[in-house]
Amino acid sequence: MIFPKATISEIIGLLEVVNDSGGIEDAARLAADFDLELDEILPSIDGAELLGFVSVTDGNIELTEDARNLLETGIRDRKKIIRDKVAGVGIIKELTSMLMESDERKISKKETLKFLQDKIATADIESYFRIIINWTRHAGLIGYNSDSEEICLISK
Amino acid sequence: MLAEIKNISKTFESDGNKIQVLDNINFTVEDNDFICIVGPSGCGKSTLLRIIVGLEKPTSGEVLFKGEVIAPDNPKVAMVFQNFALFPWLTVKENIELVLESKKYGEEAEKVACKYIRAVGLDGFERVYPRELSGGMKQRVGFARELAVEPVLLCMDEPFSSLDALTSQNLKDELLMLWAEVSMPPDAVIMVTHNVEEAVYMANRIIILSPRPGKIVADLKIELERPRNRKDPEFYRWVDKVYSLIV
Amino acid sequence: MKKGHFILLIILFLISVTSAFYFFDIIDFPDLKLLPYYAGSSLLRMGFAYFFALCFALSYGYFAATNTNARKIMMPVLDILQSVPILGFFPAAVLFFIGLIPGRTGVEFAAVFLIFTSMAWNMAFGVYESLTAIPKELVEAADSFGLHGWQRLESLTLPACVPKLVYNSIVSWSVGWFFLVASEIISAGSDTYKLPGIGSFLIDTTYSGKIALMLVGLSVLVIIILLLELFIWKPMQSWADKYNYEYAGEKKPGEFIFNMRIIKYVFRSIFELFSKIMVSLYIIFHKHKLVKKSLKFLGYLILISALLYIAYIFIVSVSKMFLNLPDDAYSIPLAIAYSFLRLSVAYVICILWTIPAAVYIARNKKASSYLMPVMEVAASIPAIALFPAMVVIFIRYGSLDIAAIILILLGMQWYLLFNLIAGVKSIPKDVENVAASFGIKRKLYWKKVLLPSMFPSFVTGSITAWGGGWNTLIVAEYIVFKGQEYHLFGIGYLLDKATFQTPDSSMVMLSVLGMAVTIIFLNRLIWQPMYRKALAKYKFD
Ligand SMILES: Nc1ncnc2c1ncn2[C@@H]1O[C@H](COP(=O)(O)OP(=O)(O)OP(=O)(O)O)[C@@H](O)[C@H]1O
Ligand SMILES: [Mg+2]
């Protein structure tokens, strides 16, 4: 499995841009509009798809109902929608349940990296760790304490 | 009228050479103005902004804020920096609290900090150090920090230029959302940019400067409905118009 | 007025004063006429030591950086060598060289060796660090262009070393002067060997109480150091900046008044010649498989036999020592504690004055344009050269303890000061603007902005300052003046006593060992964790 290397900000940025084009846009056109390479914009598209904000057919990106709802609300409510979406991502679901079962609801970074390494076979696991934490922090699900090098559940 | 920029000129002296950067700049800032200053590189945009917030002294002329001469630490005027300028040894929350501490908020500081952390959608990131944040998140901290002092006039020097295209798109929209909220500070914004599309997307007034020494070439009111759409032909007419005035 | 001009002015002043003494026989002292010869010999010694240090640094650093297995042993060894007070090994080295080559040549070798040991380690670290820090893209680019063998060395490996090597060379030379002075009068066992040089001139004149002459000698030393600074190190620095890919574009080339093509040209040629030699050696070693293999074999053979030999010597001498401990051995822990106390006092004084001074100098352009050159001149004088003068003053008016602390202070403070100034100057302008625009001032500003941003440079400065402090300690606790000996109880004294007064090789060994253990202990326990923290938390991106 491969995890999209795009931050939540980039993904929402993408949704906004597609929305400006009437909710559907060709990936190549999009890249050209922003003077980006296609593979620079692909992670954001993959990320948006993984979160269920777009559907991609033949290089056409189309916003889903959820994405339209997201764009219509304010910063606060966006956060709630993102929380629900991120919580549904497989790898993050697994991490959350691992945390639930662990003592004190904490897991060391080392252990997390090992878990991720098994899922996403890559040499650059650190950057995936950072992206996943970016998502879960945005969603208010899982935090990371860089002093103790542990991830933990964010309590409501 | 919020602020008055009166006859501002600025000449730098380095190694005996005099470089005139700004030449007799005049304009006023009204309530609800979102002003973008555009102009070619090196024309003195940053210098003008630094003079407006009081970080730099003009060679002649003055900046009046509600009728008074501006002091650099005036809490009513805040500045967002291009490279975020966060303190690496302080967490997100501490970075915001720091500027409140100096304003003697006392116990309120924490409450105010939390309010603005939530406003920009940074909750969950309170105890994170800046080095762990992506560029977009860092600039959100920048916004929260400047908003937290509840300024009347917010100045920004190319706040999106060190972010990637999609992230900056997202941040621009969020900033406009905050701007649209009446209960939120500030009352007026001055933003420096060298991206014309960005200026037309955000501003309701665009001030165009000439190449060095910077003079005001035009002061345009942008009459476009919000939210704006960059695919709109009307939008493009405005972009073309601004370009034609710069070139 | 530019900084360079100001230094030039100081040099001219010193030259005129010195030549007045030299040409008009104001004081009658036969050795005075020999001063140019002394200065030349000292410079030559430094030059030789530097050359060897350079060769050592390049090969050691290169080997450690490219061979992952060797690195695991080589880097810790270097770390220990760097933290051990070199002066302590000196008597043993002298005896070794004199045994090898009797007479003055042997002593010369010993002196050059001592200076070499003070120069080599940090340069080797510099080479190692720059080689391991070559950006991956550059290495890949070199790979993709098919740069191999000497082309690769010339276009990638050597240029990558230049900036750090130049910087470390400057540090090495300033440390080297300190050891030069110490090395020109050598006592080993019951014999004393004196080498003609500026250092021995200084010591001679002081011990016989001729202070005016000592000042003349000192001024000659300072002139040499400053001339080197202006005509070698400054051009080198501005030339090295070209190779700095990290700061490309951001950093202005070093301030330099003599923008003479010739000097730059000379250095480029020397450097190129040097790289040619390295490259041809490299080709010989790496091209021919047989040579390569046999060399490798030979290398391992030498390494293993050397290790075995060292282990043998170590076991024999340690068992001898512990079976038959000298009486003084039991006072070593207490002596270390005393010395440590002296160092701490000096360090605290250091901190108290350098932090505000650094902030003031870094912030105040006018003041810094005058103060920086003066400070640099003052810092260039090896503390050891000032000690005799110190003693004279304090034997008459005060206590030796104060003199020792002042001397240690002199050996420590510049490292801290210059590091802190650089630290304050490197605070990003926007961060200063934030503080200004939010009115973060006074106590809050110092606590939340200034002190934290100075922390990384404070730690680096402190590490070097303590290194300098331990070395100064050895000369600060024991002195002979006009035939009379003065001392303070401490590890430096024990060491000097075992070296000069009542020669006792096992005491020398034990003292050095005690000191080395203490220093390594302090490094591991205090400085390294602090350094890691400074890098992780307090550095601006
Ligand atoms: N402190 C200073 N001393 C001397 N010259 C300065 C100083 N600050 C700025 N300048 C010069 O003033 C001119 C205008 O600088 P400024 O940064 O205001 O331009 P700008 O319009 O913001 O440019 P950019 O688009 O590149 O950000 C430049 O030529 C710059 O070199
Ligand atoms: Mg600018």
Q: Which CATH number do you get for residue A12? A: 1.10.10.10
**In which residue are the tokens 């002003």 written?**
B35
Most confident of B35-39, C363-367, C504-508: B35-39
User: Does residue A51 surpass a pLDDT of 90?
Assistant: yes
- Contact between C493 and C478 under an 8 Å Cβ cutoff? The reply is yes
The span from the CA of B121 to the CA of B107, in Å, is 23
User: Does residue C263 surpass a pLDDT of 70?
Assistant: no
- Contact between C422 and C511 under an 8 Å Cβ cutoff? The reply is no
- For residue A80, is it within any domain? no
CATH of the domain at C224: 1.10.3720.10
- For residue A76, is it within any domain? no
Q: How many domains does chain A have?
A: 2
Q: Domain range holding A94?
A: 85-153
Q: How many domains does chain C have?
A: 1
- For residue C346, is it within any domain? yes
Mean pLDDT along residues A109-119: 92
User: Does residue C249 surpass a pLDDT of 50?
Assistant: no
The span from the CA of C81 to the CA of C75, in Å, is 10
Asked if residue A37 and residue A59 are part of one domain, the reply reads yes
Mean pLDDT along residues A132-155: 90
Query: Do B81 and C433 make contact, defined as CB atoms within 8 angstroms?
Result: yes
Ion ligand 2: protein residues whose beta carbon lies under 5 Å: B 46
For the B1-76+187-247 domain, the top CATH level (class) is: alpha beta
Residues 92-151 of A with CB under 8 A from B: 130, 133-134, 137-140, 143-146
User: Which residue out of B52, B57, B89 would a mutagenesis test of the C interface target, given it has the greatest number of C Cβ atoms within 10 Å?
Assistant: B89
Asked if residue A108 and residue A142 are part of one domain, the reply reads yes
The span from the CA of C101 to the CA of C112, in Å, is 14
The span from the CA of C499 to the CA of C504, in Å, is 7
Instruction: Estimate to the nearest angstrom the gap between the alpha carbon of C475 and the chain centroid.
Output: 16
Mean pLDDT estimate for chain C: 79
- For residue A2, is it within any domain? no
Give the residue from C440, C432, C449, C434 showing the smallest Cα distance to B102.
C440
- For residue C226, is it within any domain? yes
Q: Domain range holding C106?
A: 37-242+259-287+325-537
ipTM reported for the complex, 2 dp: 0.88
Prediction pTM value: 0.77
User: Does residue C256 surpass a pLDDT of 50?
Assistant: no
Residue C210 has φ and ψ, to the nearest 5°, of -95, 80
Asked if residue A64 and residue A12 are part of one domain, the reply reads yes
Mean pLDDT along residues C436-443: 83
Query: Do A75 and B121 make contact, defined as CB atoms within 8 angstroms?
Result: yes
Structurally, what CATH architecture does the domain formed by B78-150+158-182 represent? 3-Layer(aba) Sandwich (3.40)
Q: Give B69's strand partners.
A: B64
Closest ligand 1 atom to Cα of B49:
18
CATH of the domain at A99: 1.10.10
- For residue C294, is it within any domain? no
Residue B56 has φ and ψ, to the nearest 5°, of -130, 145
The span from the CA of C281 to the CA of A94, in Å, is 57
Distance B218 CA to ligand 1 centre (A): 21
Contact of A154 with chain B, judged by CB distance below 8 Å, is answered with yes
For the stretch C144-165, pLDDT in tens is 665 555 556 666 777 778 878 8
Helix or strand (DSSP H, E) at A143 = strand A142-145
- For residue C248, is it within any domain? no
Sign of CA dihedral C66, C67, C68, C71: negative
Q: Which residues on B lie below 8 Å from A75 (Cβ)?
A: 119-121, 174, 177-178
Q: Which residue has the higher pLDDT, B136 or C381?
A: B136
- For residue A77, is it within any domain? no
| Residue that finishes a domain, picked among A47, A71, A95 | A71
pLDDT for C248: 36
pLDDT for A94: 93
pLDDT for C388: 67
Give the residue from C128, C127, C130, C96 showing the smallest Cα distance to C113.
C96
Q: Give B141's strand partners.
A: none
- For residue C252, is it within any domain? no
User: Does residue C255 surpass a pLDDT of 50?
Assistant: no
Q: Give B64's strand partners.
A: B4, B69
Q: How many CB pairs under 8 A join A and B?
A: 81
Name the residue ranges covered by the structural domains of chain B: 1-76+187-247, 78-150+158-182
- Ligand 1, atom 16, residue with closest C-alpha: B44
